Homo-oligomer: A and B are copies of this chain.
Amino acid sequence: MKVGSTPTLTSKSSTLADDVFEQLRASIVKGELTPGSKINEPQLSKQHGISRGPLREAIRRLEGCKLVEIKPNVGANIVSLEIPQVIEIYEIRESLEGLASRLAALNASTEDCQKLRSLLTEHELHIHSQNGRRYYQREGDLDFHFQIVQLSRNSRLFDILCGELYHLMRMYRVQTANEPSRPVQAFKEHHQIVDAIEQGDGELAELLMNRHISTARKALLARLDAKPQTKFSENIDAGASAHQ
C-alpha cells in the first residue's frame, strides 16, 4: 500500500461550481446570506475568488434546490420563507416522511434499529441542558428524520427530502431563532416511531410519523392565525387568482 499517494487527500477534486454551490448553500441555510436579499454576481465571484461562469452554474443549482429565485435580466434573490410557505413544506413532509417511515419499517434490519436507538439516546444526553435543547431541536431532530429517510431505500425520496426540504427547514429554524416547541414530547414520539419500525409495523410507523409532523404543522398554523400580520391576511382566500 502506497502511503504518499492519493493525490487529492485534503483537497477534494471537484469543480469550482460544485464547491461554491455547497458553500453558498451553507451560507444561505446559516442565514449569512439574508433572506430576500439580492445576489450580486461580480461581488460574490470576487469574494469566492472565482469567475462568474462557475458562479452562475452554482446559482442555477441553488435555484433547483429552491434556495434562490431567478428573474431573467434581473438576478437571483435569496428565498424568503414566510409561514404559509413553511406550512406547505410541512404538508409535504407529512406525506413523504409517512411514506418513508412505512418503507423503513419494511426494510430496517435489527442493526438499523439499534442505530436509531443509539441516535435517540445520544440526543437524550443533550436534551437536559438548555444548550442541548437547542441542539436537539435544530440538528438532532432532522438527523433522526434523515436516518428514517435513508432506511426507506427510495433514492428519489431521499433526494427530495434531504436535498431540498430539510435544507429549507434548517434555514427556517435559523431564521426564527425560536425554539423550544416541545422537545420532550417530540422525543417520546420519536421513540414510538422506532418501536413501530422495529416491529415491522409499517402502517403504524406511517401513522405515528404523520401525527408527529402534523403536530408541528398545526402549531405553525396557530401562529399564523394569531398574527395575521403584515400584508393583508393572505389566509382568507389567497387563491382566488387562478394563476397560470
Q: Is residue A15 contacting chain B, with contact meaning CB distance below 8 A?
A: yes
- Tell me how far the C-beta of A124 lies from the nearest C-beta in chain B, rounded to whole angstroms: 24
Q: Which one of A15, A66, A95, A155 has the greatest number of beta carbons of chain B within 10 Å?
A: A95
The answer on a CB contact under 8 Å between A88 and B160 is no
Q: Say which residue of B72, B99, B153, B239 sits within 8 Å of A95 (CB atoms).
A: B99
- Tell me how far the C-beta of A2 lies from the nearest C-beta in chain B, rounded to whole angstroms: 22
Q: Say which residue of B18, B65, B72, B92 sits within 8 Å of A72 (CB atoms).
A: B18
The answer on a CB contact under 8 Å between A88 and B57 is no
Q: Say which residue of B107, B159, B160 sits within 8 Å of A239 (CB atoms).
A: B107
Copies of the polypeptide in the assembly: 2
A92 touching B99 in the complex, CB below 8 Å, given contacts A18-B72, A64-B60, A159-B66 = yes
The answer on a CB contact under 8 Å between B103 and A91 is yes
A15 touching B156 in the complex, CB below 8 Å, given contacts A61-B60, A64-B60 = no
- Tell me how far the C-beta of A153 lies from the nearest C-beta in chain B, rounded to whole angstroms: 5
Chain A positions 71 through 112: 1 when the CB is less than 8 Å from some CB of chain B, otherwise 0 = 011000000000001001101101110110001000100000
Chain A residues with a Cβ closer than 8 Å to the other chain, count:
39
Q: Say which residue of B15, B61, B156 sits within 8 Å of A85 (CB atoms).
A: B156
Q: Is residue A43 contacting chain B, with contact meaning CB distance below 8 A?
A: no
Complex interface: chain B residues within 8 A of A56 (CB)? 53, 57
The answer on a CB contact under 8 Å between A72 and B14 is yes
Complex interface: chain B residues within 8 A of A72 (CB)? 13-15, 18
Q: Is residue A114 contacting chain B, with contact meaning CB distance below 8 A?
A: no
Complex interface: chain B residues within 8 A of A13 (CB)? 72-73
Complex interface: chain B residues within 8 A of A159 (CB)? 66
Q: How far is the CA of A154 from the CA of B84 in the complex (A)?
A: 10
Q: Is residue A216 contacting chain B, with contact meaning CB distance below 8 A?
A: no
**Seed contacts A60-B60, A150-B244; 6 additional CB < 8 Å A-B pairs:** A53-B56, A57-B57, A61-B64, A88-B155, A89-B156, A92-B96
Enumerate 22 A-B pairs (CB-CB under 8 Å) in ascending A order. A13-B72, A13-B73, A53-B53, A56-B57, A57-B57, A60-B61, A60-B64, A61-B64, A64-B65, A66-B156, A88-B155, A91-B99, A91-B103, A91-B154, A92-B96, A92-B157, A94-B99, A95-B98, A96-B96, A153-B238, A153-B239, A160-B160
